[in-house]
Every structure is written in structure tokens, then in C-alpha cells.
Structure 1
Amino acid sequence: MRAFFAVLPPPDVLDHLAAHLEPRREADTDHTWRWTRVQHLHLTLAFLGDLPDHREDDLAASATEWAGRQRPVSMRWGRAGAFPDPGAAKVMWIGVTDEEVGRELAGWSRALRDLSSHAGADVDGQRFTAHITVARSPRRVKAGRWVQSLDAYESPEFLVDEVVLIESHLGEGPGRSPRYEVRHAFSLGSPQKM
């Protein structure tokens, strides 16, 4: 199973971000960027290229225990960037505004990667940056002006009180985009019984 742990924003925050992105999408008249569908906007904590189906329940049990030990956090999204850099970008993103929250999310990412690896998943080991991907390009392009226009964004504050495990079904969504299926939701700060 191809899957990932993520933070999903509440609908009002998604709407707020979508309103900020819409004029930028419209300004991309040469279609340099593939803009992320609003329903796909999320903050990935750990990407699992392959989780053996028979290990999903074990991972869910471990993640439930982990989540019970975490505290919910308040966050805002803002400040933009590009990977690998704005001069030759393939990905544009919006980050988390508070550095302390970013460090906490990095800790979550490490823990969830460890749990996933222990469950036998093929875990992505790239350096973690707390962000949501808003657009991708098939080739490296200069993105300085795009990043600058995105950098003015700041979301309303929202509470993150759960983390989800999402299965990604490649090519099964509209326009051959992925279809996401929430497999498990883990409430933070409240131990759950399986």
C-alpha cells in the first residue's frame, strides 16, 4: 500500500488558502505549474512508498499509542518556498509560520517514520520541512516571482488535534490524479482503545 501520515486542515482553512491560490492559478497562463487540487492540500509527516497490507493494523496500533502521548498544536500556514530552490524549482510550497511548531512537527515526522519502518514500510528518508505543496512543475523553472506572490499568505490559526494515515491510489482521481482514502485517524493527547 502506498500511504502517508498527514495533517489535514479544517475546511475553512482550505477555503482560505484556495482563495489565495486562485488568482495565481489564473495568472499561470502558460501552464508552467500543476496546481494541487484543493481537496489534496495537506501537510505530509511521513511518506510510505510501500506498506505491506498485512502490517497496516500493527502500524495503526503503534500510531494510536504514539498519538495518545502527543499534545494538540495550534498552527498557521504562511511563508512560501520552493524545492530544490526558487532559481530552479520543481515544487512550490507554503510552510508553517511558527518555528517551534515546525520543530514539533519534525519530531512527529521522525517518530512516525520510525514506527512505519518498524512495521516494514518503505519509508521516504528525505529531510523534513513542514510544508504543503501547492504546485509542481515537470521541469525546473525560475519561481522567484511565484514564491514572492505566495509569500504574502497567512492562514487563520487552527488546532491540529489529529493525524491521519492516508492511502494514495495513483491515477484513480479526476484527470488521473491520485485518489486519497483516509485509512485511520489518530487523536492527539487521548489514548484510544483498539
Structure 2
Amino acid sequence: MTEKSSKDINYKRLFIAIDFPENLKERIFVFQKSVRNSIIGNVKWVEKENFHLTLRFIGEVPEKYVDEIKEVLDEVSHYVESFSITLESFGGFPSLSSPRVLWIGIKDELGNLEKIFDLIERRLVKKGIPKEKKPFSPHLTLGRVKENIRILQDFDFKKEEILVEEIVLFESNLTPQGPIYQPIYKVTLKKHM
């Protein structure tokens, strides 16, 4: 039997994330608009429907991995109870004075996000998916900076606490208009007692 060539393999661009409720996406969008109106320079802004918190970007993988990633999420959901995180503050990577990414910060006092990332990471590596190279840094991306920008005023996102009850596997389809994120699998975390 001949080996199939890599062009015969279907690939999917995937990431694991926490999705946000519509009312919070609306609030983030209003904040993003006020930031947008005070910036001089070129920024590719994240669309309102695409606001999320990435737990693990996987990237392009053969379609055969999808079921294995679903298994990983099923396993992790048995170990983690629902928990709260707080969205607060406004910043940039590597710094707000010279940013490549503009973000809203995520506060997780009990370290649950780090715990989930570690659980997912260990299991993905066992399945043959390469280890994440960048350190885990929870944030919500507002926009990606295309050139040097000037921010004309200070901003601070007022605290918003949310309950995390689900983890979602998304497929990202890149289009000329921007990425389209399609949820393809969700797991519900154990109820907090």
C-alpha cells in the first residue's frame, strides 16, 4: 500500500479557549471602540464575535488529531471545577509604550487558568502535538499593531467577573476579511460545590 502524500491530508487550524457571553463581548467592544478612537496608527482590531481567552493555540494539525484533542478536553473537564476570573486593566505586549498586541488583562487569583493550561499541555504533548514555546499569559486580545502607534489617552477596563463553566475547541478559518472562529467541541466543567 502506498503512503498518502501530505497534500491528501486535511489540516485544521485549532485553538482551545474560553468563550465569553454576548453581553460581555458587547461591553468589551464598546471599550475597544473608545481605545480605537484615541489611537494614531495602524491596528488590526479583533471582531466582536471573536473575543475569547486562548488557553492553548494548537495551530495547523492533521484532521485525525481532532478526536484526540476532544478526548483531552473530556479528561480535563473531570479535573477542573467551574471557577471565576476577572477581566481588568488595559495593556500591551511587550509594553504599552511600544505594543505589538493590545489587550485586556485577566486576573485569576486561584491559578485555575494555569492549572487548566498545564493539564491540557501535558496531554497534548502525549498525543504528539508539539509543546507550546511561549509562556502562558492569559489575556484578551483587542488588536494587533501593524506599525508604531500613539495612544492619546490612558485607559483602564473596569473590573468584570465572569464564571467559567466551559472550555471550547475552536477551528480558525483564515479569510481575506479576517479569521472566522467556529466552535467545534465544548466541554462543561464540574459544578463548583
Give the distance between the partners of 1:122 and 1:168, measured in 2 at CA. 18
Give the distance between the partners of 2:72 and 2:58, measured in 1 at CA. 15
Which residue is 1:158 aligned to? 162
Larger mean Cα displacement after TM superposition, 132-141 or 37-46: 132-141
1:60 paired with 2:70, answer yes
Give the distance between the partners of 1:56 and 1:182, measured in 2 at CA. 12
Partner amino acid for 1:25?
Answer: R
- Gaps in structure 2 of 5+ consecutive residues: 1-11
Partner amino acid for 1:139?
Answer: E
Structure 1 segments (4+ residues) deviating >3 Å: 139-143
Give the distance between the partners of 1:52 and 1:123, measured in 2 at CA. 16
Query: Contact between 1:86 and 1:142, CA under 8 Å: does it hold in 2?
Result: no
RMSD of aligned alpha carbons: 2.0
1:16 paired with 2:35, answer no
1:96 paired with 2:106, answer yes
Query: Contact between 2:85 and 2:107, CA under 8 Å: does it hold in 1?
Result: yes
Per the normalisation by structure 1, the TM-score is: 0.83
1:78 paired with 2:88, answer yes
Query: Contact between 2:41 and 2:150, CA under 8 Å: does it hold in 1?
Result: no
Residue 141 of structure 1 and its aligned partner are, at CA, apart by 4.3
1:180 paired with 2:188, answer no
Match of 2:160, SS state, is coil
| Percent of paired sites with the same residue | 24
Give the distance between the partners of 1:156 and 1:183, measured in 2 at CA. 27
Partner amino acid for 2:69?
Answer: L
Residue 39 of structure 1 and its aligned partner are, at CA, apart by 0.7
Larger mean Cα displacement after TM superposition, 8-17 or 122-131: 122-131
1:53-99 superposed Cα distances (whole Å, 9 cap, x missing partner): 1121122112102112101111220112211122321101111134x
Partner amino acid for 1:5?
Answer: I
Residue 51 of structure 1 and its aligned partner are, at CA, apart by 2.5
Residue 123 of structure 1 and its aligned partner are, at CA, apart by 4.6
* Structure with the higher fraction of residues in strand conformation: 2
1:33 paired with 2:43, answer yes
Query: Contact between 1:3 and 1:166, CA under 8 Å: does it hold in 2?
Result: yes
Give the distance between the partners of 1:16 and 1:86, measured in 2 at CA. 22
Match of 2:128, SS state, is coil
* Structure with the higher fraction of residues in helix conformation: 1
Give the distance between the partners of 1:49 and 1:124, measured in 2 at CA. 10
Give 1:133-172 correspondences, 5 Å limit.
Answer: 133-141=141-149, 148-149=154-155, 152-171=156-175
Give the distance between the partners of 2:31 and 2:38, measured in 1 at CA. 12
Which residue is 2:6 aligned to? none
Match of 2:15, SS state, is strand
1:78-129 superposed Cα distances (whole Å, 9 cap, x missing partner): 112211122321101111134x14x221221122122222223345321111
Per the normalisation by structure 2, the TM-score is: 0.84
